[in-house]
Chain A
Amino acid sequence: MTILIILTLCCLLLSLLFDRQKTMTGLQIGWKMFLNMLPALLTILSIVSILLYLVPQESIVQLLGAKSGPVGVLIAGLVGAIALIPPFIAFPLAGILLSKGVGYSVVAVFVTTLIMVGFVTIPIEIRYFGKKAALLRNSLSFVAALIIGLLIGLVL
């Protein structure tokens, strides 16, 4: 995070040094795109906050720990695809699952679908990529996540 801030400021400074006019144009472009995305994003995040309250972490742990084997993997994939849990919660959560004896494949599928498939952000994705591409990308990512999880489960 700090690195990103420093990097961005360096880029901005360099850019200003070389060409003020160009920098201003760039900032305007960025700002417009930001405003463009903001309302849809805030709406979705407020809905996700409600969902996150309705489905607390304990029930996710319970849900994922309940079944092993193919059913467990499938449940993990579905939960991961629907939930929008930021990585800094998701990884500790996955760590807890592992320590409770939940299989590697279940945890791997959960983590991978969580970060690759964004069910709740699909409306935003559609605005950029179109319906077909957004749905296709999420479905393919879901399948890929299942494969990755199963492979990890086989090796570990």
Chain B
Amino acid sequence: MRYRKILKQYFWLILFLLFSAGSAVFNFLPGQKILANFNFFLFELITFLPLMFLLVGLFDVWVPKESIERHIGAEAGWQGFFWVVLLAMMQAGPLYGAFPVAYILSRKGASVRNIFVYLGVFSCLKIPLLTFEVNFLGLQFTLLRTLFSLPLFYLIGLLMEWQLGENYKVSDGK
């Protein structure tokens, strides 16, 4: 029963790997290029995601609910915005890595508004990304984008909270 479930979950992936293996054997160039793309994503996934989840797990057992509620909860106000922006900026990795963090934050009592501010800042303003952006698009471009983004993220947070209600919770992704 359990194996069947696993097989079902990974069905497409197995198909994909068979296709890749076939491409390698028969020298099918498009297949090899696709596999190269996949390896690229896979590398990002296996370097960032385990670290991310490790931190999330430790965060879960060590950080008490009260402290999250106090700092980025519904009553936190502007300081809450500041803390959540700071937290999100210090992270790295692709956006899907932020989802489990959002779940933990939500469970520990972060306000709906701040969770979506967190997602916005994580996607756009994390420091590793910004350094990269400065290199290729210039300091002026990066600073302007940051400056225009922050108020909009706050606005998105407000709108999301208004639409979803204050009692909205992020689920564990099952």
> Which single residue of chain B is at the shortest CB-CB distance from A27?
B57
- A61-114 interface with B by 8 A CB criterion: 86-88, 91-92, 94-95, 98, 104, 107-108, 111-112
Contact A107 B137 (CB under 8 A): yes
Which residues of chain A are near B48, meaning CB under 8 Å? 4
Which residues of chain A are near B172, meaning CB under 8 Å? 33, 36, 128
Per-residue contact bits, chain A 8-28, to B (CB 8 Å; 1 contact, 0 not): 100110010000001101111
Contact A53 B34 (CB under 8 A): yes
Partner of A30, one of B58, B95, B129, B141: B58
Partner of A87, one of B16, B132, B155, B173: B132
**A43: CB under 8 A from chain B?**
yes
Residue of A23, A41, A49, A108 ringed by the most chain B CB atoms within 10 A: A49
Per-residue contact bits, chain B 112-148, to A (CB 8 Å; 1 contact, 0 not): 0000100110011000110011011100110011001
Task: Given the known inter-chain contacts A26-B60, A33-B53, A34-B50, please indicate yes or no for A45 contacting B41, CB distance below 8 A.
Answer: yes
- B166 CB to nearest chain A CB (Å): 13
Which residues of chain A are near B99, meaning CB under 8 Å? 37, 124-125, 128-129
> Which single residue of chain A is at the shortest CB-CB distance from B92?
A4
Contact B137 A46 (CB under 8 A): no
Which residues of chain B are near A15, meaning CB under 8 Å? 58, 61-62
B: number of interface residues (CB 8 Å): 72
Per-residue contact bits, chain A 46-57, to B (CB 8 Å; 1 contact, 0 not): 111110110000
A-B CB contact pairs (8 Å), 26 listed:
A1-B128, A22-B61, A27-B54, A29-B60, A30-B55, A30-B60, A31-B53, A33-B53, A33-B173, A39-B13, A40-B9, A42-B45, A53-B30, A86-B94, A88-B132, A91-B136, A94-B137, A95-B136, A112-B149, A125-B96, A128-B173, A136-B159, A140-B156, A144-B155, A148-B145, A152-B148
